[in-house]
Amino acid sequence: MKRLSCLLTTLCLGLLSACGGGGSGSAGSSGTTSETAPPGIGQTLTLTLPASGLAAADLGVIVAEGDAVSEAMAAAYVAARGVPAANLIRVKVNTAVASLSAADFLLLKSDIDARLPASVQATLLAWAAPSRVAGACSMGITSAMALGYDTRWCNPSPATDTCASTAASLLFDRETRRPQADVQVRPSMLLGTSTLAAAQALIGRGVASDATRPAGEGWLVRTTDSARSVRWTDFQSLPAAWSGALALNYVDNSSGVAAANSLSGKTDVLFYLTGLTQVANLSTLQFRPGALADALTSVGGLLPGGGGQMPITAWLDAGATASYGTVEEPCNHTQKFSRASVLIDHYWRGATAIEAYWKAVEWPGQGLFIGEPLAQPFRDAPSFAIVGGEYQIRTRSLRPGSRYALQYRLGGDSAWTTLASFTGTRGQALDGRAPLPPAAAVQIRWQGPCPADAASSCTLAQSP
């Protein structure tokens, strides 16, 4: 009887392995398996899945030396986020002016680049002004800090075409988790507050948002201002696409009255994207910590006053955690503003505010990114473990529509064999299963879209 029991157990395990290790998670899985083998090194192989989102150690904080408010705001940020002391860079910059000349900015950026630790992947400018760089055309200081000042980023031919297209960002809708290492771009954000109290409130909202997976609502509004509502074609399909994962609302007031263009009395606002020169009723709204909000308009990023339009700092004053706007006339190219479908997707999959915003703007040269960069309400906590004789793979970072695979390699063989494959689904975290590799396997790896080219496949994690 004992021998018969052992034979039956072996047969059942073999059948289970042939069926893909007992099932798959919500994102779906399929794969081929190897023959059942006696326990060996292959059954103990594990790896660490890559986590989405920059950490405090990845951020450089740039402070205006000698400016008491900038120094205090930077100190508050470093303390709240645990930014390493080596990442705090003091520079000489005139905070009494709204803009820097291209020549002065070149000196500033050269000084910062030379002193930043190589590990730094993004920067925070801990001041409210200067907020732009002016030359033949104007760039937001955050875009200039990330990309370098060059007219191809703002207006290649200002004398002949005031509505020119501009160069595209290497970060747009990319899967990179290490932007400086992967594509040599350090995204930058301006804190944007002018008092220590405002900075502390903003920082507090960012910290409070982390890993909360908030159940707030997103509002995507098409207004009677047709020129500024050109993003509506991206807005309208998102509520259905995110059904069951996020509460998104598309409001079409294009044929309504102007008084109904702005939200009023809403609570738990997580996203608010619209198109207006002035957004009314902000004081009646309650934003969730980590909320992102912006309006497509000409010069909302032209701080401090917005050039007669609502400055993007008004979003922070109302309780949002990050925003974006342009510093000179961009015309209404949708590529020069945040794309809601991309912004929300990357944020939900675990990106920080600075990453989500930078990945959502295709032509960011004329833009200014402001807020608390490390806010991360949907922080991913990926896990990869052996549970019940199979791999359990959990992560929320899979790119919708992209294929991921768990593969193994035998000793002395360069070929990789797929154990299981998974396809990312919008708004669904992966809770997948995969069989263990053969006993003779010496390595496993996790394959997925490349950081700089999502259409290609790269090794994202690998066992030693």
What pLDDT is attached to residue 38?
53
Per-domain residue ranges of the chain: 23-51+380-462, 56-371
d(CA 77, CA 60): 11
Whether a cis peptide bond, with omega within 30° of 0, leads into 130 is yes
What pLDDT is attached to residue 281?
98
d(CA 143, CA 153): 9
d(CA 227, CA 330): 12
What pLDDT is attached to residue 41?
79
What pLDDT is attached to residue 412?
86
What pLDDT is attached to residue 42?
81
Q: What is the pLDDT along the chain (464 residues), one digit of tens a residue?
A: 333 333 333 333 333 333 333 333 434 443 334 444 456 778 899 999 998 999 999 999 999 999 999 999 999 999 999 999 999 999 999 999 999 999 999 999 999 999 999 999 999 999 999 999 999 999 999 999 999 999 999 987 766 777 889 999 999 999 999 999 999 999 999 999 999 999 999 999 999 999 999 999 999 999 999 999 999 999 999 999 999 999 999 999 999 999 999 999 999 999 999 999 999 999 999 999 999 999 999 999 999 999 999 999 999 999 999 999 999 999 999 999 999 999 999 999 999 999 999 999 999 999 999 999 999 999 999 999 999 999 999 999 999 999 999 999 999 889 999 999 999 999 999 999 999 999 999 999 999 999 999 999 999 999 99
d(CA 357, CA 371): 10
d(CA 452, CA 37): 38
d(CA 353, CA 373): 5
Within 10 angstroms of residue 3's Cβ, the number of other Cβ atoms is 7
Within 10 angstroms of residue 237's Cβ, the number of other Cβ atoms is 12
Its pTM stands at 0.90
Non-local CB neighbours of 52 within 8 Å, separated by 6+ positions: 177, 349, 350, 351, 379, 380, 396, 397
CB 171 within 8 A of CB 187: yes
What pLDDT is attached to residue 157?
74
Exposed, middle or buried, 4 (CB in 10 Å: 0-12/13-18/19+)? exposed
Q: For the chain, how big is the Rg over CA atoms in Å? A: 25
d(CA 443, CA 437): 9
